Amino acid sequence: MTQLSTVTLQVLWNRLISIVEEQAQALVRTAFSTSVREAGDLSAGVYNRAGLMLAQAVTGTPGHVNAMADAVAHFIDAIGADRIAPGDIYITNDPWKGTGHLHDITVVTPVFHDEAHIGFFACTAHVVDIGGRVFGADANSVYEEGLYIPITRFADAGRINDTLLQIVRANVREPDQVVGDIYALATCNDVGVTRLRDTLQEFRLSDLDEIAEFIFGNSRSATLERIAALTPGSAAGEMRIDGFAQPIDLVCRLHILSDRIKVDFAGTSGVDAKGINVPLVYTKAYACYALKCAVAPEIPNNAASLAPFEITAPEHSIVNASFPAPVALRHVIGHMIPDTVYNALDKLLPQVVPAEGASALCNFQLSLRPASEAARQNGARRAEILMFNSGGAGARPTLDGMSTTSFPSGVMTMPVEATEQSGPVVIWRKELRPDSGGAGTYRGGLGQVIELSAAAGHVFDISLMLDRVKHPARGRAGGGDGASTCVTLADGTVLQGKGRQFVGAGQKLKMELPGGAGYGPVAERAAQAVQQDLRLGYISEAAARDNYGLAEDQIRWAQDTEES
């Protein structure tokens, strides 16, 4: 076989990235759950025959794709390399072999070309319901959190596993949505398989071996070059967050070596009694993502570019929870890992990483039901609605933080219209939260305010998945803290940030989501930037005066400019 030129290999590498992005977009277009269709809570990737990730889609979350990078090897072990056949499709939601909790379903499809097995496509999506206690932190073990699907065959040589689908339908509250999402996962893999076969035929290739060698070799050397350019050293990082019943301490020790970066989470709090624990695969996903963003952001993600980042954590710590620990809200802790890593990295690479942000997605699930028998007869119904929202991101060393933007997850805020179409809920208000971004030379991103209630004739339980209630995002390099999370009912009742809580008929729920922290001394923020924030409603007059020292004539000028 003629050896491919470097130019051709680069074209093929770009083609693979394009293929997996089309794979991801096919999932977005065909998914039933709003978490996938509207928020992009998914991942897609292509792998070689050994189960090593070659390329990932741009659409998706680092928690999914970096965790899924390890998943295909588990499928090979469970199925057996000699038992993989054309027409097979495999499935699991095992938190320790997939992406960290039962609500994520991973589907893997082997690729055959010219009757030879040459690789895999894999994808993951968060489904709206998996049974159990509903998506929330209330369980005491993973057994309570929903249906567990071990690595098994969704299709065996082209024949769909109807028994598996019957089991799924019998164990979830939204069977059509969940089964529809499983078929969407399988379909998007098929899109990838078709496009890859077309590419192999176009370039007259029999397998992925040569392109894999090119991708891995260049990715590894480029990443190692970036690490070698850093000054070796060690530093500690820490962060305290809300937890469930008691605060959680995240602690890490980061080591920059000549050929790798190591992060160890020794000293972190132990496994929690409730479902906020994190399997190590998810901890690794977000720790690697944080390091890659800071050190080698433009190098494409694959097995080789991730390999120089070594992540360890003590077993039975909250970031290395073992089966059967409850893990449904592993993202609330896992999304805080980058900020913990950055607390250490900032001491070695100043002026590189942002201030802390809201970090964790601000999620909630509504379990709606008729308020009475009369309401049921008048059309009130049961429904499960999952909504993803974001607080503010932390300010950057040279820029303000992004408002209502989820870093590190990258999951999109869900539109009001899509949420209201999902079931009997009314979103009365969804807007930026003034004064929530931490003050500084560069201001933290704003959180948001959301007010909602059940539609007439309904009541609901809300499973809240929030943090930063008692421990807001901390400023960096002299910047101020972001605003805390606050959840209240119209009658003044304050709700807990996590856990399943009842909201009665006619009650409005108000969520004030947290802001990102500021970066740099407040005194160094330009007066024009403060006036602009005041004009746009990002800060109040009081904040302009008290936090930034804006004079009364400067405040009046900003107000006059806004009115004109």
Task: Provide the sign of the torsion angle of the four alpha carbons 183, 79, 98, 170, taken in this order.
Answer: positive
Q: What is the pLDDT of residue 467?
A: 97
Question: Nearest-5° angle of CA 389, CA 392, CA 397?
Answer: 150
Q: What is the pLDDT of residues 72-105, one digit of tens each?
A: 999 999 999 999 999 999 999 999 999 999 999 9
Question: Nearest-5° angle of CA 54, CA 22, CA 153?
Answer: 70
Helical H segments across 386-511, by residue range: 416-422
Question: Nearest-5° angle of CA 290, CA 293, CA 295?
Answer: 100
Band (pLDDT 50/70/90 cuts) for residue 552 is: confident
Q: What is the pLDDT of residue 551?
A: 85
Residue 29 DSSP code: H
Cβ 512 vs Cβ 487: under 8 Å: yes
**Could you give the 3-state DSSP secondary structure of residue 411?**
coil
Cβ 57 vs Cβ 24: under 8 Å: yes
Omega cis (within 30) before 314: no
- Residue 21 to residue 29: CA distance in whole angstroms: 12
Q: What is the pLDDT of residue 440?
A: 98
Q: What is the pLDDT of residues 308-345, one digit of tens each?
A: 999 999 999 999 999 999 999 999 999 999 999 999 99
Q: What is the pLDDT of residues 489-523, one digit of tens each?
A: 999 999 999 999 999 998 999 999 999 999 999 99
- Residue 89 to residue 536: CA distance in whole angstroms: 52
Question: Nearest-5° angle of CA 168, CA 173, CA 178?
Answer: 50
Strands, E, within 297-408: which ranges?
309-312, 363-370, 383-387
Cβ 93 vs Cβ 148: under 8 Å: yes
Shortest CA distance to 509 belongs to which of 357, 368, 318, 308?
368
- Residue 468 to residue 482: CA distance in whole angstroms: 9
Task: Tell whether the model's pLDDT for residue 564 goes beyond 80.
Answer: no
